[in-house]
Amino acid sequence: MFDALTSKLSTVFEGLRRRGALNETDVLEALREVRLALLDADVALPVVKDFITRVRERAIGQEVIDSVSPGQQVVKIVNDVLIEQLGGAGAVALNLNAVAPIPILMVGLQGSGKTTTSGKIGLRLSTRLRKKVLLASLDTQRPAAQLQLQVLAGQAGVGSLPIVPGETPLQIARRAMETGRREVYDIVILDTAGRLSIDAELMEQVREIRAETNPAETLLVVDAMTGQDAVNTAKAFNDALGITGIVMTRMDGDARGGAALSMRAVTGAPIKLTGSGEKLDALEDFHPERVAGRILGQGDVLGLVERASENLDQEEAEKLARKIAKGRFDLDDFAAQLKQITKMGSISSILGMLPGAGKLQAQLEASGGAAGLDKKVINRQAAIISSMTVKERRAPDIIKASRKKRIAAGSGVTVQDVNKLLKQFDDMSSMMKRMNKLGQKGLMRHGLSALMPGQRGGGQQRRGY
């Protein structure tokens, strides 16, 4: 989600990195760009100012002047301050230290994603922590909101409070807690109606609910696309209710997500979870250090590894790694890899996590690649490979014109498609070789761009067929 900000800051710091020494003017100039980038990314103005002041204080002074590589040092300072502002290293877990049934109160503006998030948290707590969860909708405002939560509860396989028309939100909250005690639930998630922070009446109502149920967590749900107003909202809800955590939704969008940066600074409440999709399992921990790294163009490598380890067949991956290390990577492995990739989600979301891939992603989109990278294409590629003989898969070099024709016919594609796939495989194997050369450390340092052939020299070299 921070791609746009990342690319802006990379331009700024590329300039800084190139220079050996760094003076005050350099820093100020760079910080002006940082300020603009942060504002364009919807970080709230007061937070931007505070951020810039902190960085400047640390950047202009001994720390930088005495260091060997001043440019790097500034990048590091910006990174450090970013992590600090986002809440320090590590994810903050939901607080479940209370007597069961533990109430969790969900609040926020209309359309921020409270109900969907309630369903996601319900699923997460029941599958990961084996908790017995009850979902209760206190939304008597929006038509069919209660029904929506009931359906989600069904999909998540957790309990839902029966709907009784005509009850007030406070009455529903009481009934939910009673039901929770009687039917021995561990967690009761109370999903409230969306409300404006300036609506005194509705804010009073939710305050009463809070006083009645004494929730262990009062979670503010905020859309990652929110503009400058995010801070006002967070402040108002925090002042009224004492927010214990923030959930950022729609992190799978392309909003620059400045709201994340300002929220924590203004409320002091940690961002605990992020929503990144419409499916119920699309809920992730918020890791400030990863997000800060992403802002600075270092990529969310850890996030990618985590997602990979959750979805990939471990044995398969190890086998592949051994083959790559030996430089023996054939089309069978390629096919296996394609299959693994589809398990991990869309390619562009994976690319977004790789260091230096922001630009690559933009290039792909520009060349119509976004649509070209969907599952359909991958399936077609898998079909092409399965139309090859074992011998062809092991040694793709033997595939010449007549074999190509046969493969194309067998998989229902054109010869050009076969060519494209072979070229892709070719690129990939050469990338693997580079990766071996660079080693793990080099990959972390230089990012994905080090692997891209012809990145610096302009156009990619084409292999004739």
Partner 1 sequence: MALGGFFSRLKQGLARSTAKLSEGLGTVFVKRKLDDAALEELEDLLIGADLGTDVARRVIAAFRRSRFGREVSEHEIRESLAEEIAAILRPVAIPLVIDRALKPHVVLVVGVNGTGKTTTVGKLAQSYTEQGMRPMLAACDTFRAAAVEQLQVWGQRTGAPVMAAPANSDAAGLAFDALTRARAEGFDVLLIDTAGRLHNKAALMGELQKIIRVLRKQDPSAPHSVLLVLDATTGQNALQQVNVFKEMVDVTGLAVTKLDGSARGGIVVALAEAFAMPVHAVGVGEQAGDLRAFDAGDFARGLVGL
Closest approach of partner 1 to the CB of residue 196, in Å = 3
Q: Nearer to partner 1 by C-beta: 189 or 451?
A: 189
- Give bridge partners of residue 221 from the DSSP assignment: 108, 247
User: Are residues 285 and 273 in contact, defined by beta-carbon separation less than 8 angstroms?
Assistant: yes
Q: Nearer to partner 1 by C-beta: 370 or 415?
A: 370
Report residue 320 as tokens.
């592949």
Q: Which of 85, 160, 192, 226 binds partner 1 (CB under 8 A)?
A: 226
* C-alpha span between 11 and 317 (Å, rounded): 35
Measured on CA atoms in the order 451, 452, 458, 463, is the torsion positive or negative?
positive
Q: Which among 13, 6, 74 is positioned nearest to 40, based on CA atoms?
A: 6
* C-alpha span between 418 and 404 (Å, rounded): 7
Q: Which of 79, 192, 233, 429 binds partner 1 (CB under 8 A)?
A: 233
State which of positions 179-218 bind partner 1 (CB under 8 A).
Answer: 196-199
262 touching partner 1, by CB under 8 A? no
Q: Nearer to partner 1 by C-beta: 196 or 398?
A: 196
DSSP secondary structure string for all residues of 52-92 = HHHHHHHHSSHHHHTSS-HHHHHHHHHHHHHHHHHTSSSPP
In 122-211, DSSP assigns E strands to: 133-137, 159-160, 187-191
* Phi, psi (degrees; rounded to nearest 5) at 103: -80, 140
Q: Which of 183, 313, 374, 426 binds partner 1 (CB under 8 A)?
A: 374
* C-alpha span between 276 and 1 (Å, rounded): 10
Binding segment for partner 1 (CB under 8 A), chosen from 82-90, 169-177, 226-234, 437-445, is 226-234
Q: Which of 14, 183, 204, 229 binds partner 1 (CB under 8 A)?
A: 229
User: Are residues 159 and 183 in contact, defined by beta-carbon separation less than 8 angstroms?
Assistant: yes
State which of positions 38-67 bind partner 1 (CB under 8 A).
Answer: 39-42, 44-45
DSSP secondary structure string for all residues of 163-188 = P-TT--HHHHHHHHHHHHHHTT-SEE
Q: Nearer to partner 1 by C-beta: 220 or 385?
A: 220
On the question of a cis peptide bond just before residue 288, with omega within 30 degrees of 0, the verdict is: no
Q: Nearer to partner 1 by C-beta: 42 or 333?
A: 42
Q: Nearer to partner 1 by C-beta: 90 or 372?
A: 372
Q: Which of 77, 135, 190, 259 binds partner 1 (CB under 8 A)?
A: 259
State which of positions 340-359 bind partner 1 (CB under 8 A).
Answer: 348
Q: Which among 251, 246, 217, 252 is positioned nearest to 231, based on CA atoms?
A: 246
Closest approach of partner 1 to the CB of residue 65, in Å = 29
Closest approach of partner 1 to the CB of residue 300, in Å = 17
Maximal C-alpha separation, the chain:
77
Report residue 202 as tokens.
């509705």
Contact string 118-157 vs partner 1 (x = CB under 8 A) = -----------------------xxxxx-xxxxxx--x--
Q: Which among 17, 116, 270 is positioned nearest to 260, based on CA atoms?
A: 270
Closest approach of partner 1 to the CB of residue 320, in Å = 28
Report residue 348 as tokens.
């562009």
302 touching partner 1, by CB under 8 A? no
176 touching partner 1, by CB under 8 A? no
110 touching partner 1, by CB under 8 A? yes
Q: Which helix (H) or strand (E) holds 305?
A: helix 301-311
User: Are residues 361 and 3 in contact, defined by beta-carbon separation less than 8 angstroms?
Assistant: yes
* C-alpha span between 122 and 136 (Å, rounded): 11
Closest approach of partner 1 to the CB of residue 108, in Å = 10
Closest approach of partner 1 to the CB of residue 319, in Å = 31
258 touching partner 1, by CB under 8 A? yes
417 touching partner 1, by CB under 8 A? no
Closest approach of partner 1 to the CB of residue 266, in Å = 13
36 touching partner 1, by CB under 8 A? yes
Closest approach of partner 1 to the CB of residue 252, in Å = 6
Binding region for partner 1 (CB under 8 A):
36, 39-42, 44-45, 109-113, 141-145, 147-152, 155, 196-199, 223, 225-230, 232-233, 250, 252-256, 258-259, 278, 348, 370-371, 374
